[in-house]
Structure 1
Amino acid sequence: MPQTDINNPEAQRQRVGYAIVGLGELSAEELIPALRISEHAYLAAVITGEMDKGRAFAEAAGLTDDDAYTYDDFEKLEGREDVQAVYLVLPNNLHREYAERAAKIGKHILCEKPLASNLEDAEAIVAACQSAGVKLMTAYRMQYLPEAWHLKNAMAAGKLGPIKLLDSIHTQTEQEAGIWRLDAKQAGGGPLVDVGIYCLNTLRFVTGLEPEWVYAALHQPENDPRFKEVEESVSFMLGFPGGIIANALCSYGADKTDSLRVLGENGSALLDPAFVYTDLKLEMRMPEGQTVVNFPAYDQFRLEVDHFAQCIKDDKPPYSGGAEGVQDHRLMAAIYQSARSGERVKVEPLAGQNVAGQDVFRNTENTPQQLKPGR
């Protein structure tokens, strides 16, 4: 897609203005570039801890000094009618504070995963957004990608036969002790809440089902300064309706690997790499033969910010709303409980939840337009 003209005021009025809250690596390398080529959104403001840093980012993005704010100035966004949404890219323990502050001033919220650092805060975020009448989307990037949708649709259409087993791996090494991801208070956990949540959420997404039970184990080395507060590795198993079993591995101490495998009675599929930002590779092995599914090059984050912008413009609920984020917190809490107890933990359905239903925590009436089933 050609780059959007960021200096065209009329073009901007037809799109949704975002303020990015938190200017780390993800914002600099992925989100700001995605907003520059977005069809339905654009970057209107940036918020960070240091004004000099904010102004430098603003200038590089074609904005003015007046478009840069510090965290203390966050509420000044209330007077910015051109800022309709905020994208929270902060340590997990700050998600609740800034989501509540954004909701209070009437800004829609796209929040990086996990939705919060714990279940209580995640539920509080959903409640605050509902009370304020603002939209909330959990940034589950995989739910907006054509490869993941192709796999999900093939499974739903029975092209692999009845699904029997799934496995997913997401590992990376964290070399530097003291970073926020290794701080239990800031992160809310170790690799499970950071990279393992990709496995957890994508397994739920492609099956469309909710686990009935979880079983898990973790390892936290005693003499490694990186893991004084959080685990190094987690292995967990999910039991889905119909006897489907999924296994997942995540770690901060293993060489970078990310994959997703689905095994059906009549075929299989492998997404490898599965969770990186570019060049995903999907192989399908079906009775008619083995194929590699290719899609034209695209920006993953553009799909995500465009979907939320469309929801705001059309007044529709986002596909991966707050309920989706809360459900993963419920399941991660059960995974940690199982790892501590050494026992399988039953996942009780919520009141009114159709345990046999498909995609019960997603807003299926608003499937991402560019990725409708059948593509």
Structure 2
Amino acid sequence: MAANRRHVLAGMGATLAAGALMGRARAQEPGRKFGYAIVGLGSYATRQIMPRLKECEHARLVALVSGTPAKLEQYGAEYDIPATHRYSYADYDRIRDNPDIDAVYVILPNSMHAEYTIRAAQAGKHVMCEKPMAVSAAEAEAMIAACQQAGVKLMIGYRSHFEVHNLHAMELARSGVLGATRIITSEHGFNAQPNQWRLDKPLSGGGSLMDIGIYSLNAARYLAGEEPVEVSAMEFTDRSDPRFATVEDRINFQLRFPGGALASCVSSYTSNHNTYRVHGPDGWLRAEPATSYTDHQMWVHRDGKTEQVRLPTPAKNQFVAQLDHLPEAIMAGTEPRTSGTEGLRDMRIIEAIYQSAREGRAIPLTA
């Protein structure tokens, strides 16, 4: 029986790999745009992602997945998606039989990311998954393994890695024009409204850290240009506030990097922040808003002068550039800039942040 099972699994692996190669070939067909199925029709999907697919050079919207029939009808009509390309969660696995779908973009509550990523990979489809990648490092590892076994790409939706001010900040911080980076501050938060799935731990996996604090963490990492080796954290939540029955409100955490930089980060559901700063011996940079959807601003201080950085408007905004990047990586045969490994690194650090806050001690981090 074991031998037969291995034979079946090997056959499945070969079939999935062949399907992935066919997907790459389809993506390279002249004049053909890469087809995304959007999984989950919440506000981020319908207000930010789906409209941007109309602007993409390499990608288009070809299918919808939702548990709400009225949404499938509404957005199917709006985006001219035929009934054959509209799926419920129950018949999600039928995407395997739709050659127009090259990839899914999973925009669901965090606790659903792993399941729908793995099922997409098993259907031979590439995956874009919103951040946070999962609700645990173990889930993130399973997602990576499933995509590797199926021979499909996995990309995490870290849009700031495609936004020009953030890219410029990375370049400045790593180039040495400010001197060696010594201090990073990164603060993200907003006043969370009640009755959202993100305030329900079984759906979200955690509170502000999983939702908005991940921006503070990811920014500290990409500004430092290296991985932290230690984290310490403290948390405060007013449990009399009905919003926070199951999730945390505020977490402050500090990261120590091997090159000597220290990062101080804030995550909050009761205060508004969207900023980071990088300080070196020769100057500093500040971004505010740093990771918003629009209206980014940045200042640099050097030689006793503070100047606002004014960058040309890019041909593609961060959403369009992110959506186009996955088909570009597939056509090039390279890993996406924000691969599953990037998401896994954040998940491992997030688990260490929660552990530090619980235990009141610094937690060493492994590579």
TM-score, with normalisation over the residues of structure 1?
0.87
Greater Cα shift, 197-206 or 73-82: 73-82
Gaps of 5+ in 1: 1-10, 350-375
Report whether the alignment pairs 1:99 with 2:117.
yes
Other-structure match for 2:18: none
**In the TM superposition, what is the alpha-carbon distance from 1:228 to its structure 2 partner?**
1.0
Is residue 163–residue 317 contact of structure 2 (8 Å, CA) maintained in 1?
no
**In the TM superposition, what is the alpha-carbon distance from 1:288 to its structure 2 partner?**
7.5
Report whether the alignment pairs 1:212 with 2:221.
no
Other-structure match for 1:190: 207
Aligned residues: 338
Please state whether the residue corresponding to 1:340 is helix, strand or coil.
Answer: helix
Alignment of 1:277-356 (within 5 A): 277-287=293-303, 289-294=305-310, 295-296=312-313, 298-349=316-367
Report whether the alignment pairs 1:264 with 2:280.
yes
Other-structure match for 1:37: 55
Equivalent residue letter for 1:281:
Q
Other-structure match for 1:143: 161
**In the TM superposition, what is the alpha-carbon distance from 1:290 to its structure 2 partner?**
2.9
**In the TM superposition, what is the alpha-carbon distance from 1:13 to its structure 2 partner?**
4.9
**In the TM superposition, what is the alpha-carbon distance from 1:64 to its structure 2 partner?**
2.2
Greater Cα shift, 74-83 or 62-71: 62-71
Report whether the alignment pairs 1:252 with 2:233.
no
Greater Cα shift, 272-281 or 297-306: 297-306
Please state whether the residue corresponding to 2:133 is helix, strand or coil.
Answer: coil
Q: Deviations over 1:114-155 (max 9, x none)?
A: 110111111110111111111000111111111111111112
Is residue 260–residue 271 contact of structure 1 (8 Å, CA) maintained in 2?
yes
**In the TM superposition, what is the alpha-carbon distance from 1:186 to its structure 2 partner?**
1.1
Gaps of 5+ in 2: 1-28
Q: Deviations over 1:174-198 (max 9, x none)?
A: 1214x21111111111100110000
Report whether the alignment pairs 1:202 with 2:194.
no
TM-score, with normalisation over the residues of structure 2?
0.89
User: What stretches of structure 1 move > 4 A for 4+ residues in a row?
Assistant: none
Alignment of 1:112-123 (within 5 A): 112-123=130-141
Equivalent residue letter for 2:97:
G
* CA distance in structure 1 between the aligned counterparts of 2:300 and 2:65, rounded to whole angstroms: 43
Is residue 149–residue 206 contact of structure 1 (8 Å, CA) maintained in 2?
no
* CA distance in structure 1 between the aligned counterparts of 2:239 and 2:330, rounded to whole angstroms: 48
Other-structure match for 1:366: none
* CA distance in structure 1 between the aligned counterparts of 2:31 and 2:250, rounded to whole angstroms: 47
Please state whether the residue corresponding to 2:56 is helix, strand or coil.
Answer: coil
Q: Deviations over 1:264-286 (max 9, x none)?
A: 11010001001110010011112
User: Which residue of 103, 108, 131 maps to 2:149?
Assistant: 131
Identity percentage of aligned residues: 38
* CA distance in structure 2 between the aligned counterparts of 1:139 and 1:50, rounded to whole angstroms: 24
Compute the RMSD of aligned alpha carbons.
Answer: 1.6
**In the TM superposition, what is the alpha-carbon distance from 1:236 to its structure 2 partner?**
0.4
User: Which residue of 163, 183, 186 maps to 1:165?
Assistant: 183
**In the TM superposition, what is the alpha-carbon distance from 1:65 to its structure 2 partner?**
2.5
Other-structure match for 1:354: none
